[in-house]
Structure 1
């Protein structure tokens, strides 16, 4: 039986994103572990200011795969466009994003739910489109890039962000060694569809790549309890019944089979800045 990448499996989406607390727990655990690497939303803003000719007077900014609205809030606060549109497939995450942005004055903000293969915005309407950590949820990321190209204004710009294929491999090794998932090191990368090695080529099918930046992010988890907060809802792992979504139970297994210790892991983050221009000649 062929293994299906959970990020590309439609039947897993409610499990992955129907309960925002699971994503929040995993994200918070990862951010608490972070020891090196710039905040991604702030880096996106820096790239916009460096490469967009109208960074100080943007119209519509589209945040694709906005999730809980973390990047949408930073884009609104630091770039002060006339409007920010957050877009995501998860109704539960959009509800959280709306609440997070409810008290932000001076910028019109709206959130839309849908399929990023068919963006619900007019052709040429966006000054900036951001797609951070979402293209690898598509089996056809080139189609998403084509949609981004369609909605961009002629002088617009896109910033796309992804991770390396081997991100967090040290956690894969730990999960396998503890017996939580003996195949933990052999599963396909969650980022196989759009990763650091192919992102520029994917973007170049419909847009002109302006620049590419890579940055290593490092994370140190302070022990098994901290690791378990991240692992317990990571869809990559085939955890036994009763373990998924249960950090305490995952931590108990880690403590039983492995000495407690600090765990350091890494991920290469890749940023691609692109502008309309027709893609490859």
Structure 2
């Protein structure tokens, strides 16, 4: 890893998201380990149903930083807006989202490559905007929130989702104890730009915050082989040559120095629901 935060370094983006399989591998390893915490896309839907006055007749719903389209699909299936638009900066992820998108009568689902600092949508064109696990990829997340406010109709709803600064600290401890990266516990959090501690204030700069919910999610990896699948795609650490992207080599390195055992780690997931200040529709 470079000395800069890889989530905020443009030079890392091709490595992180140039191939959709990297994100899929990391997400799958993490989700297999999950032992507590609500399913995030379902929770987003529930928050919209609770707080949007027209949740049953949405026009345009925008999924910012849609990745491989996981949340987009759930939003389209459960909320059934007239139109669902997923937006991401990575062409490979947009291609995968298009492949995974299901055909649903009555819902126009489409995906677009774009920059969330300059959303390619008209002012006041969206009833709902979701930004889940993406704002920490911006050096200026407040600009993204201002853009969200711009594209929302008066009274439109935004749902912002992020993680705590100390997410997965137990993995940091394991990496340091194994000697894979002795500074693992001292690296800057990947989520420093937009995290559980500042996401509400970021939202409040442009939107009216309706509610903020914090929920601890727990994950238990069933041994070194499992944790290596996650570590191999995590750019946070300064790993020796040949280890990044190589779960087999990482697992072997862990087995060599530490007894194989379960590893439980945690992250606080924060949901902020906020409304455009233009007044109720």
TM-score using structure 1 length:
0.97
Q: How does 1:70-89 map to 2 (within 5 A)?
A: 70-89=70-89
What residue is the counterpart of 1:91 in the other structure? 91
What residue is the counterpart of 2:151 in the other structure? 151
Change over 3 Å in CA distance of 1:46–1:239 after alignment to 2: same
Rounded Cα–Cα distance in structure 1 between residues aligned with 2:235 and 2:129: 27
Report SS of the residue matched to 1:8.
Answer: coil
Q: CA deviation at 1:183?
A: 1.0
What residue is the counterpart of 2:141 in the other structure? 141
Judge conservation of contact 2:73–2:102 (CA < 8 Å) in 1: no
Q: CA deviation at 1:241?
A: 1.1
Render the CA deviation track for 1:117-168: whole Å, top value 9, x for unaligned.
0000000000000000000000000000000000000021000000000000
Q: CA deviation at 1:105?
A: 3.6
Q: How does 1:28-177 map to 2 (within 5 A)?
A: 28-177=28-177
What residue is the counterpart of 2:266 in the other structure? 266
Matched, 1:6 2:6: yes
Q: How does 1:185-204 map to 2 (within 5 A)?
A: 185-204=185-204
Q: CA deviation at 1:255?
A: 0.3
What residue is the counterpart of 2:207 in the other structure? 207
Report SS of the residue matched to 1:143.
Answer: helix
Report SS of the residue matched to 2:45.
Answer: helix
What residue is the counterpart of 2:275 in the other structure? 275
Matched, 1:20 2:20: yes
Aligned length: 278
What residue is the counterpart of 1:254 in the other structure? 254
Render the CA deviation track for 1:42-99: whole Å, top value 9, x for unaligned.
0000000000000000000000000000000000000000000000000000000000
Judge conservation of contact 2:155–2:277 (CA < 8 Å) in 1: no
Report SS of the residue matched to 1:87.
Answer: strand
Q: CA deviation at 1:102?
A: 4.3
Q: CA deviation at 1:106?
A: 3.0
Judge conservation of contact 2:121–2:151 (CA < 8 Å) in 1: yes
Which stretch shows the higher mean deviation, 88-97 or 232-241?
Answer: 232-241
Moved beyond 4 Å, runs of 4+: none
Change over 3 Å in CA distance of 1:102–1:77 after alignment to 2: closer
Rounded Cα–Cα distance in structure 1 between residues aligned with 2:133 and 2:20: 16
Unaligned stretches of 5+ in structure 2? Answer: none
Unaligned stretches of 5+ in structure 1? Answer: none
TM-score using structure 2 length:
0.97
Report SS of the residue matched to 2:244.
Answer: coil
